[in-house]
Amino acid sequence: MALPIRDRVDAAVGDGLERAMTHHHLRRLRRHDQLAALAPAGEGLWAQTAVPPRDGNALEVLIDGENALPAMAEAIRGAQRHVHICSWNFQPDFDPGPRKSTPIRDLLAEVAERIPVRLLVWAGAPVPVFKPRRGDVKAARDALVRGTKIQCELDAHGRLMHCHHEKIVIVDDEVAFVGGIDLTALAGDRYDSNQHPHKEDEIGWHDASSRLRGPIVRDVAAHFALRWEAVHGEALELPERLAPAGDTTAQFVRTVPEGAYDVLPRGEFSILESYVRALRSARTLIYLENQFLWSPEIVHILEGKLRNPPTDDFRVVVLLPHKANNGQDDTRGMLGRLVAADEDRRNFLAATIMSRTGERSGPLYVHAKIGIVDDAWLAIGSANLNEHSLFNDSEADVVTCDPALARATRLKLWAEHLEGPADGDPATVIDEQWRPTASEQLERRRAGAPLTHHLVELPGVSRRSRRLMGPLDALVVDG
């Protein structure tokens, strides 16, 4: 059925703006000699624009706040030399523990009595219509450091409309946590369990982090040291090398926009390169959990794979929030493009998850940033699949090409979302468990019936409707 002329004009203008934005990014990267991040040359999955991958690491994926936050608190409590933290936002009264009895300020203040505790927090939005506002961030910083020995710097380096989005905890340069979990309850309480029970008057939260030991921790520590010296003027001593702690090879990748820090004038866009390499290589499975699916560069690769599936059992599954925290369609119409590219082959599925206890269900925010390709490549960190994270905000991810770890992480995530075992061939599990469950729950939701499962299919919203608004917003904000 032909689209109304208004929708066709809207789609044409929107697509034109989207092309303008991608060309802008091409020119920008070429100007700063960073085009390899968007158009990587050569074979392999490791990013060439980042520090090299490191052998000999222990990498543990911590899914949801109940597993990640107490682990961070325990590591901080046992620190012997220093604690370093990067966070998008930080609230002194946020409690990372299972008993909700020790606010993070009290924990850090106690540790700071014996060793240095340094925090880097984004200074906040310079335009007061966005949150967190700079005045609120400054007030939180003052409340944190008042009467303590905690050092906390507010980082305003970078592009005007963008932020420092990393979520990093480093203890003694021996253990590091890199992931998507901030030490704040702003926009939602990060402490939630794998069961995601329904919470009255509170949004559920699905997130993830990683716990790292071994040589890669030095790369994470060096990144913190770069930022700390740029903001505070203090050069931090780094370990010469770290002893092996496991058998996993891993790579620290990041986004640092050009011009944010004098020591990195051309920036770094190795998260973008990592995803481009991995998605282009996919043969059987792309599984993405993310807060946003807005990047036209990423969606273009997914479209190509869906139009020309590399194998008969190729599948793409994306897990997203029902709505982004700004209330917009969380894909800017991208789901519709992917549905169209799939052409009813049923190789593509978009889903979300809801909190649920019995017949009571409610919102559950998908905040995790995880990518798994062919059970051979795994990325976890702070980067969303939008232009903010891939080009403009500071971000930190860790990547591994450890097949056993990639598969184990997928199985753990799928068991959580499917509420039961997810063993077996991925295509079969998707066709026989993911799709029927998600489809049934969508129909129940539409009928106003109680949900019987966490997993709900996301329809291909905004297939063409309002195609103009997403690219226009992205060109203004993400460009």
One-letter identity of residue 14: G
Q: What angle is formed at CA 343 by the lines to CA 337 and CA 348, rounded to 5 degrees? A: 70
pLDDT band for position 125 (50/70/90)?
confident
In this structure, what token pair is assigned to residue 166?
């990393």
| Separation between Cα atoms, residue 413 and residue 418, nearest integer Å | 9
pLDDT tens digit sequence for 85-111: 999 999 999 998 776 678 999 999 999
Give the pLDDT of residue 189. 84
pLDDT band for position 16 (50/70/90)?
confident
- DSSP E strand stretches across 135-234: 151-155, 168-171, 175-179, 204-206, 208-213
pLDDT band for position 158 (50/70/90)?
confident
In this structure, what token pair is assigned to residue 315?
């599948």
Give the pLDDT of residue 309. 98
**First and final CA of the chain: distance in angstroms?**
34
Helix or strand run (H / E) with residue 337: helix 334-342
Of 160, 172, 14, the C-alpha closest to 82 is 172
Q: Which residue has the higher pLDDT, 1 or 244?
A: 244
Q: At a CB cut-off of 8 Å and minimum separation 6, what does 30 contact?
A: none
The whole-number average pLDDT for the span 145-163 is 93
Give the pLDDT of residue 474. 52
In this structure, what token pair is assigned to residue 296?
């036209």
- DSSP E strand stretches across 172-289: 175-179, 204-206, 208-213, 248-256, 268-269, 285-289
The whole-number average pLDDT for the span 9-15 is 69
Give the pLDDT of residue 479. 41
Give the pLDDT of residue 11. 67
Give the pLDDT of residue 334. 83
Q: How far is CA 415 from the centre of its chain?
A: 20
pLDDT tens digit sequence for 53-96: 999 999 999 999 999 999 999 999 999 999 999 999 999 999 98
**Alpha-helical segments (H) within 36-80:** 65-77
pLDDT band for position 332 (50/70/90)?
low
Q: Which residue has the higher pLDDT, 7 or 334?
A: 334
Helix or strand run (H / E) with residue 218: helix 216-232
Question: What predicted TM-score, i.e. pTM, was given to this entire model?
Answer: 0.95
CB 213 within 8 A of CB 60: no
Sketch the domain layout of the chain as residue ranges: 5-50+252-478, 55-247
Give the pLDDT of residue 14. 67
Query: What's the CATH superfamily of 55-247?
Result: Endonuclease Chain A (3.30.870.10)
Lowest mean pLDDT among 217-226, 230-239, 301-310, 357-366: 357-366
- Does 3.40.50.300 match the CATH number of domain 5-50+252-478? no
Domains 5-50+252-478 and 55-247 share a fold: yes
The residue to which tokens 């820090």 are assigned: 261
| Separation between Cα atoms, residue 170 and residue 224, nearest integer Å | 9
pLDDT above 70 (res 436): yes
Left, alpha or beta for 139 (phi > 0: left; psi -120 to 50: alpha)? alpha
pLDDT above 70 (res 337): yes
3-state secondary structure of 289: strand
One-character DSSP codes across 233-254: -PPPP--S-----SSEEEEEEE
pLDDT above 50 (res 326): no
pLDDT tens digit sequence for 183-194: 999 888 899 999
pLDDT band for position 325 (50/70/90)?
low
Give the pLDDT of residue 478. 44
The whole-number average pLDDT for the span 401-408 is 98
Most confident of 110-114, 189-193, 384-388: 110-114
Give the pLDDT of residue 190. 92
Distances (CA, A) of 135 to 139, 158, 342: 6, 18, 47
Strands 355-357 vs 360-362: parallel, antiparallel or unpaired: antiparallel
In 10 A of CB 417, how many CB atoms?
25
The whole-number average pLDDT for the span 204-225 is 98
